[in-house]
Amino acid sequence: MKNFYITTPIYYVNDIPHIGHAYTTIAADVAARFKRLDGYKVFFLTGTDEHGQKVQQAAKDLNVTPQQHVDKLHQRFKELWVKLNISNSDFIRTTEERHKRLVCDILQKLHDKDEIYRDSYEGWYCTPCERFWTEKDLQEGNCPDCRRKVEKIKEHNYFFRMGKYQDWLIKKIKSDPHFILPASRRNEVLGFLEKPLEDLCISRPKSRLPWGIPLPFDEAYVTYVWFDALINYISIHGSFDDILASGFWPADHNMVGKDILTTHAVYWSTMLKAIGLEPPKNIFAHGWWTVNGQKMSKSLHNVVEPNQLADQFGVDVIRYFLLREVPFGLDGDFSHKALIRRLNSDLANNLGNLLNRTINMMKKYFNGTIPLSATTGEEDIALQNKAQEVINEVRKLYDELAFNKILQKIWELVDTTNQYIDKTGPWSLAKTDEGKERLKTVMYNSAESLRVLGVLLFPFMPKSCESLMQQLGVEKTIEEQGMTSLDNWGGLTTGTQTQKAKQLFPRIEDKQAAKILAELEAPKETTKDDTGQITIDEFMKVDLRTGKILEAEKVKKSKKLVQLKVDIGTETRQILAGIAESFEAEDLIGRTVIIVANLKPAKLMGIESQGMLLAANNDGSLLLAGFDQEPGLGIQVR
Ligand code: ME8
């Protein structure tokens, strides 16, 4: 079995995760999931970057230790990845012993080989970026990256002899076109390397910054946060010997955003060269998301939070949209309007409708059983050929991580299958005996094409594709079927009982869209500070009360919503809860629940909801919050 290793950057633990972080992680997840389907043994790594000035400062402001601070904050990333259905093999934190051990071994090894030396240093230091700049790097006297003020600092430090690898690196980049992608970014790195490459300052005096990994050969210093962080990609495998034995180095892709390409292409590659390890096979720098044309920033209150987005539109819709909307490698602009447009057209109208009508016709004409494919005509062969062409092309496009082209290609099969149904006209065929024979083949092929689509789209939309497969009556999971199940047309077994049609992607109608957009894109004021903490007064504003469910009924045309009548002692509230996928409506009647009683009423699918239930999302399945003894109704919960 061949190995495949893909990584995301390890994100700064202080930041609130936003769609930029979600973008890289979803992209890496799609590639990892595809390679698993294609028979590879996959290792997929993400994690958090936990040392450095900003963490130290934030912890001090909160009066906690840096370790306590990062122990709490890294959870936000971990939880988001569970929510977004990310299939990472491990999660590395740079404060873990396993990481610190290898960083120290590498520093010692490089120091012993005279690859690291001590020298005095004078430079311009940008505290927020934790980077030194030379006079000529500065822009109008400010940091060239963040444009903030820099300080002149003179101190003794340790340096890595990065400069001596300049010629080797240029040669490597020129001789291996796959090493840095996309090509435009590769040229940027070569442009950067036209200037002499200086040695890299890899230490910070402990007196100024104690929160870091101490240098093993000089306890008065800690390791520069980038030198520490980059090593995560190998420290996950253990010691030097373990890295070599793991079969997962060199990585197939170190996937990053364009903001950190230089640190990866230049620092990381030369560090590896000095250590005696191969550089990654590929460093892929994708583009940058802005929001309605603006940079995402807390001060502009325009940070798009993936949690909120997933609750509103569904995880798979977000995963699809981010990778379909913009070519991977180019910059993109996020707008909720564009997201709703794609959901309605590509997902609800094209794919969702194809599944819906196929399942419904199968029910109508064959009692929901997959019929025997009896004839083979020109149209059938054209459909099969199209499927084969798409499968071959998709496999190739994964080598370039061309996600949006992959989706475009897959949609050619969605469209071809819809046209196949329109051209063959099952509704006319059903009228004659001869037609009915032909109809068997048409329905078989439509369903088989959907199975192919389910496998191909699984890496992008895992949950929806599993649901598609269940509707087709296929018992094997998509991972069990794998890409080999697409080698030959005809994976569906005649006689299989299909399931009831379920809408995969409910359309958002214009009126509802206008309302969502007004709410989502209205300027936001937030009371949360950087750590997500609120005061007791803020918490006390939430009126939580006990209630009993008197009535429960699933909302028609909605996958998730149940309409409830909840008795809260003083009155009965109508509440719409998004719990239909985890509970049968009738099982909810009589349950004691906790509701948010002072939530502004809102209309969902035209029905007013006067509160909200508390529930925990346990790996996709919802659990209602309750009590260990039966409380009275309308009691405040604190
Ligand atoms: O740089 N558009 O962490 P970080 C697209 N800890 N991608 C974005 C984005 C946006 N607007 N914003 C963030 C660090 N990203 C270091 C990395 S690795 C050894 C150390 C994504 O939290 C993108 O992948 O600032 C970018 O490279 C990364 O988040 C930066 O994350």
Ligand 1 centroid from CA 545, angstroms: 41
Q: Which residue has the tokens 């084969």?
A: 388
Asked whether 255 lines ligand 1 (CB < 6 A), one says no
In tens, the pLDDT along 3-12 reads 999 999 999 9
Residues shown for the chain? 638
Ligand 1 centroid from CA 73, angstroms: 16
Ligand 1 centroid from CA 496, angstroms: 47
Across 72-96, average pLDDT = 97
Asked whether residue 111 is assigned to any structural domain, the reply reads no
Same domain, 295 and 346: no
Asked whether residue 218 is assigned to any structural domain, the reply reads no
Ligand 1 centroid from CA 97, angstroms: 24
List, in order, residues 6 or more apart from 437 with CB less than 8 Å away: 374, 375
Pairing mode, strands 200-201 and 151-160: antiparallel
Ligand 1 centroid from CA 391, angstroms: 32
Q: pLDDT at residue 529 above 60?
A: no
> Which residues share a beta bridge with 637?
544
Asked whether 15 lines ligand 1 (CB < 6 A), one says yes
Ligand 1 centroid from CA 258, angstroms: 8
Asked whether 49 lines ligand 1 (CB < 6 A), one says yes
Asked whether 21 lines ligand 1 (CB < 6 A), one says yes
- Predicted pLDDT at 528: 46
> What ligand 1 atom has the least distance to the C-alpha of 49?
6
Which residue has the CA at smallest separation from atom 27 of ligand 1?
A: 257
Range of the domain at 557: 536-637
Helix (H) or strand (E) holding 628: none
- Predicted pLDDT at 634: 77
Pull the structure tokens for residue 170.
């240029």
Ligand 1 centroid from CA 262, angstroms: 13
Q: pLDDT at residue 109 above 70?
A: yes
| Domains held by the chain: number | 3
Asked whether 296 lines ligand 1 (CB < 6 A), one says yes
Same domain, 570 and 542: yes
Q: pLDDT at residue 189 above 50?
A: yes
Q: pLDDT at residue 20 above 60?
A: yes
Which of 486, 506, 523 represents a domain boundary (last residue)?
486
H/E/C letters for each residue in 16-69? Answer: CCCHHHHHHHHHHHHHHHHHHHCCCEEEEEEEEECCCHHHHHHHHHHCCCHHHH
Q: pLDDT at residue 533 above 70?
A: no
Same domain, 572 and 447: no
Asked whether residue 508 is assigned to any structural domain, the reply reads no
Ligand 1 site-directed mutation target among 6, 7, 8, 11, most atoms within 8 Å of CB? 11
Average pLDDT, the chain: 92
Q: pLDDT at residue 527 above 50?
A: no
Which residue has the CA at smallest separation from atom 26 of ligand 1?
A: 257
- Predicted pLDDT at 532: 61
> What ligand 1 atom has the least distance to the C-alpha of 233?
19
Q: Report the share of the chain in percent with pLDDT over 90.
A: 75
User: Cα(181)–Cα(520) distance, rounded to whole angstroms?
Assistant: 35
Asked whether 11 lines ligand 1 (CB < 6 A), one says yes
Ligand 1 centroid from CA 9, angstroms: 6
Across 73-86, average pLDDT = 97
Ligand 1 centroid from CA 15, angstroms: 10
Same domain, 342 and 481: yes
Q: Could you tell me the pLDDT band of residue 213, with boundaries at 50, 70 and 90?
A: very high
Which residue has the CA at smallest separation from atom 14 of ligand 1?
A: 11
User: Cα(370)–Cα(409) distance, rounded to whole angstroms?
Assistant: 27
Q: Residue 3 maps to which CATH number?
A: 3.40.50.620
Asked whether 257 lines ligand 1 (CB < 6 A), one says yes
Dihedral sign from CA coordinates of 28, 30, 33, 39: negative
Ligand 1 centroid from CA 11, angstroms: 6
Nearest to 519 by CA among 505, 508, 530, 529: 508
Asked whether 418 lines ligand 1 (CB < 6 A), one says no
Pull the structure tokens for residue 144.
């060239």
Ligand 1 centroid from CA 8, angstroms: 9
Q: pLDDT at residue 604 above 90?
A: no
> What ligand 1 atom has the least distance to the C-alpha of 48?
6
Across 74-102, average pLDDT = 98
* DSSP-derived secondary structure for 222-267: EE-HHHHHHTHHHHTT-SHHHHHHHS--S-SEEEEEGGGHHIIIII
Ligand 1 centroid from CA 24, angstroms: 8
Nearest to 307 by CA among 604, 22, 630: 22
Q: Could you tell me the pLDDT band of residue 44, with boundaries at 50, 70 and 90?
A: very high
Q: Could you tell me the pLDDT band of residue 333, with boundaries at 50, 70 and 90?
A: very high
Same domain, 459 and 562: no
Same domain, 361 and 430: yes
Asked whether residue 300 is assigned to any structural domain, the reply reads yes
Q: How many helices (H) and strands (E) does the chain have?
A: 24, 25
- Predicted pLDDT at 526: 47
In tens, the pLDDT along 432-463 reads 999 999 999 999 999 999 999 999 999 999 99
Same domain, 558 and 622: yes
- Predicted pLDDT at 631: 84
Q: Which residue has the higher pLDDT, 99 or 154?
A: 99
In tens, the pLDDT along 110-127 reads 999 999 999 998 889 887
Q: Could you tell me the pLDDT band of residue 635, with boundaries at 50, 70 and 90?
A: confident
Which residue has the CA at smallest separation from atom 30 of ligand 1?
A: 11
Which amino acid is located at 207 in the chain? S
Which residue has the CA at smallest separation from atom 7 of ligand 1?
A: 20
- Predicted pLDDT at 122: 87
User: Cα(128)–Cα(630) distance, rounded to whole angstroms?
Assistant: 52
Residues 348 and 506: beta-carbon distance below 8 Å: yes
List, in order, residues 6 or more apart from 385 with CB less than 8 Å away: none
Q: Could you tell me the pLDDT band of residue 525, with boundaries at 50, 70 and 90?
A: low
Across 134-150, average pLDDT = 87
- SS3 at position 410: helix
Q: Residue 628 maps to which CATH number?
A: 2.40.50.140
Return the exposure string of 479-506: e unless at least 16 CB atoms fall within 10 Å of the residue's CB, then b. eebbbebbeebebbeeeeebeebeebbb
Q: Residue 374 maps to which CATH number?
A: 1.10.730.10
Asked whether residue 273 is assigned to any structural domain, the reply reads no
In tens, the pLDDT along 346-380 reads 999 999 999 999 999 999 999 999 999 887 899 99
Asked whether 20 lines ligand 1 (CB < 6 A), one says yes
- Predicted pLDDT at 441: 97
Same domain, 623 and 481: no
Which residue has the CA at smallest separation from atom 15 of ligand 1?
A: 20
Ligand 1 site-directed mutation target among 7, 13, 23, 284, most atoms within 8 Å of CB? 23
User: Cα(625)–Cα(620) distance, rounded to whole angstroms?
Assistant: 15
Same domain, 379 and 324: no
Same domain, 324 and 423: no
Q: pLDDT at residue 319 above 60?
A: yes
Asked whether residue 1 is assigned to any structural domain, the reply reads yes
User: Cα(420)–Cα(445) distance, rounded to whole angstroms?
Assistant: 9
Which residue has the CA at smallest separation from atom 12 of ligand 1?
A: 20
Ligand 1 centroid from CA 332, angstroms: 15
Pull the structure tokens for residue 482.
């794998």
Q: pLDDT at residue 530 above 70?
A: no
Asked whether 259 lines ligand 1 (CB < 6 A), one says yes
Asked whether residue 412 is assigned to any structural domain, the reply reads yes
Q: Could you tell me the pLDDT band of residue 133, with boundaries at 50, 70 and 90?
A: confident
User: Cα(459)–Cα(313) distance, rounded to whole angstroms?
Assistant: 18
Same domain, 347 and 430: yes
Asked whether residue 189 is assigned to any structural domain, the reply reads no
The C-alpha R_g of the chain, in whole angstroms, comes to: 28
Same domain, 557 and 421: no
List, in order, residues 6 or more apart from 316 with CB less than 8 Å away: 85, 460, 461, 462, 463, 464, 505
The alpha helices in 521-622, defined as continuous H runs, are: 536-540, 585-588
Ligand 1 site-directed mutation target among 12, 13, 21, 233, most atoms within 8 Å of CB? 21
